[in-house]
Amino acid sequence: MTLLVSAGEASGDRLAAAALTALGRAGFGMGGDALRAAGAELLVELRDVSVNGVRDVLGRAPALARAWRTLGRALETRRPRAALVVDFPDFHGHLARRIRNSGASVVWCVAPQIWAWRPGRARAFARSMSRLAALFAHELEPWRKVGVDVTWVGHPAAERPLPRRSSRSRSVVALLPGSRDNVARAHLPLHREVAVRLARRGLDCVFLVSSALSSARSSEIGRVGREVGARVLPCPPDGASSLLHLVDAALTTAGTASLEVALSGAPFVVAHRVGALEAAIARRWLLTRWVGLPNLLLGREAGSELLQEAATPEAVTDALCRALDRGDTTGVADELRARVTPDDGSTFGARVAKLVEAVL
């Protein structure tokens, strides 16, 4: 095989799989269920390495070291002509430089968010990229300024049609505690308390469980769901989008899930908590007003954000009820879709595949 492919998170796994499917080639490397379904040979499972925050990096250090050694050996023995690395910037920054030093080309998908977080990293990242596939148009200019060959490829979540929602006697709220084990662990107590309060107000809840979570974490969410009388539905490898027609609003953490919900036309609330150290770092370095992707892209609060101490069960419950009162947000979905979709008649997977094919 001539292509190394690497994704360290559930959202990146889906993006890499879309590209690999469009490319029509097998690859080897690191990923999860979506890449496996696309035909990749997985040497490292993303469940073992997916991290978020300083403390979790320290806790997963042995697994990250094993992944580094495994991928390094594969690089030396299989000598791929090119690599596709997706997001997971701290790990992939080092891996991609090693790949380029071996003589192979690197297509990096999902631009590190230098516009929101530590812009001084740009030149260091630039040395690890042969080509960059950016999800959002506003990312082109800052990367071009540091000499990167960057192409806007859009976001595949925007390619899903708006779901049709049938009328229901009781509104249903989706609870998405996260696709990384540590994120789900940190947010599950909040989501549990919100589910209890929503039930008291006559609303139903459904936990949507990411396929990237460990079996232990998935079981924990199932137990919490039973305790509070909420349904629990496993998400397919391509994410929660195919289940969002079942709900009228959603509670998410920051990141891809919030974008998927907003693109479905459902009102949403972003509630996100991190550890004290991560919060202190964010307050020092974060350059944006919002953390939820829909709000960042639109430059306004399309969905409420409650962060850190503000993310109390009562405040989140009130915000979800207000979101339900506002009803369908199809206009927000249409505006977002226009912001994240290049007008070239192609697909995300085909655009990334074209970049990879050019360096193979």
In angstroms, rounded to a whole number, what is the distance separating the alpha carbons of residues 148 and 1? 27
Q: For 80-114, what is each residue's pLDDT tens digit?
A: 999 999 999 989 999 999 999 999 999 999 998 87
Sort 209 into a burial class: Cβ within 10 Å, 0-12 / 13-18 / 19+.
buried
User: Does a structural domain hold residue 185?
Assistant: yes
97 and 219 share one domain: no
Q: For 321-351, what is each residue's pLDDT tens digit?
A: 999 998 767 799 999 999 999 999 999 999 9
User: Does a structural domain hold residue 160?
Assistant: no
75 and 187 share one domain: no
- Answer for the pair 37, 237: CB distance below 8 angstroms, yes or no: yes
User: Does a structural domain hold residue 161?
Assistant: no
47 and 144 share one domain: yes
Summarize the confidence of residues 20-45 as an average pLDDT: 95
Going from the C-alpha of 65 to that of each of 43, 48, 53, 112, 320, the distances in angstroms are: 14, 11, 17, 22, 41
* Phi/psi-derived region of residue 321, left when phi > 0, alpha when psi is between -120 and 50, beta in every other case: alpha
56 and 132 share one domain: yes
Whether the pLDDT of residue 280 is over 60: the answer is no
194 and 334 share one domain: yes
| Predicted local distance difference test score (pLDDT) of residue 90 | 87
| Predicted local distance difference test score (pLDDT) of residue 59 | 55
Query: Any idea what the CATH number is for the domain that residue 150 is in?
Result: 3.40.50.2000
334 and 353 share one domain: no
Q: Report which of 98, 101, 146 is spatially closest to residue 120, judged by C-alpha positions.
A: 146
Three-class SS of residue 245?
A: helix
pTM over 0.95: no
Going from the C-alpha of 272 to that of each of 80, 149, 230, 327, 346, the distances in angstroms are: 39, 34, 21, 23, 34
208 and 278 share one domain: yes
Residue 217's identity, in one-letter code, is R
210 and 329 share one domain: yes
* Phi/psi-derived region of residue 327, left when phi > 0, alpha when psi is between -120 and 50, beta in every other case: left
Number of domains in the chain: 2
Q: How confident is the model at residue 182 (pLDDT cuts 50, 70, 90)?
A: confident
User: Does a structural domain hold residue 166?
Assistant: no
142 and 191 share one domain: no
Q: What whole-number percentage of the chain has pLDDT above 70?
A: 91
112 and 10 share one domain: yes
Range 242-254 burial, b when 16+ CB lie within 10 A, else e:
ebbebbbbbbbbb
Residue 250: its H or E element = strand 249-252
Handedness of CA 53, 58, 62, 66 (dihedral sign): positive
Domain encompassing residue 90: 3-154+342-359
Phi, psi of 237 (to 5 degrees): -55, -25
219 and 291 share one domain: yes
Residue 307: its H or E element = strand 304-307
